[in-house]
Amino acid sequence: MSEERLREAIDTLKESGVRITPQRHAVLEYLLNAMVHPTADEIYKALEGKFPNMSVATVYNNLRVLKEIGLVRELTYGDSSSRFDCNTSDHYHIICDACGKIVDFHYPSLDEVESLAEQVTGFEVSHHRLEVYGKCDECQTQKH
């Protein structure tokens, strides 16, 4: 089924007229299989073995392209670097204040907030983001 998602994503790339290079394929595949939400550098390091000559710029370029097409989302939290996430299903994130772990959780999309914001501000709303913060199970246990 991960295979299926990869094939779909590649079809989307083709439809957009974007070339499918080995590096681009690898970045996409890595993101699709990632259980976490890696930074650009983490992706770079993970693919270094397979592509010893790959440039960091290539990772950034591909992430930008994948973002423009809508296959990938960029998440910015308080820390120094952005994280990237395959844009698959409707879910939000909960983030541990202590260790930084990011866990998905599903919740119906907050359409009501969007429409209210639209009315009040006069904006033409496109989307929203929501993150919940707290302390994860592990970090609660190892309190002292």
Partner DNA sequence: TATTAGATTATAATCTTTATAATTAGTGTA
Partner DNA sequence: TACACTAATTATAAAGATTATAATCTAATA
Give the relative orientation of helices 2-15 and 22-33 as an angle to the nearest 10 degrees: 140
Please report whether residue 23 would count as binding DNA according to CB under 7 A.
yes
Which residues 76-135 are close enough to bind a copy of itself by CB under 8 A? 76-78, 82, 92, 94, 96-97, 103, 105-107, 110, 113-114, 116-118, 120-135
Q: Is residue 95 within a helix (H) or strand (E), and if so which, with residue range?
A: strand 92-96
Alpha-carbon torsion angle 126, 62, 27, 37, nearest 10: -40
55 binds, among DNA, a copy of itself, none (CB under 5 to 8 A by kind): DNA
Q: Name the residues that contact a copy of itself, by CB under 8 A.
A: 74, 76-78, 82, 92, 94, 96-97, 103, 105-107, 110, 113-114, 116-118, 120-137, 140
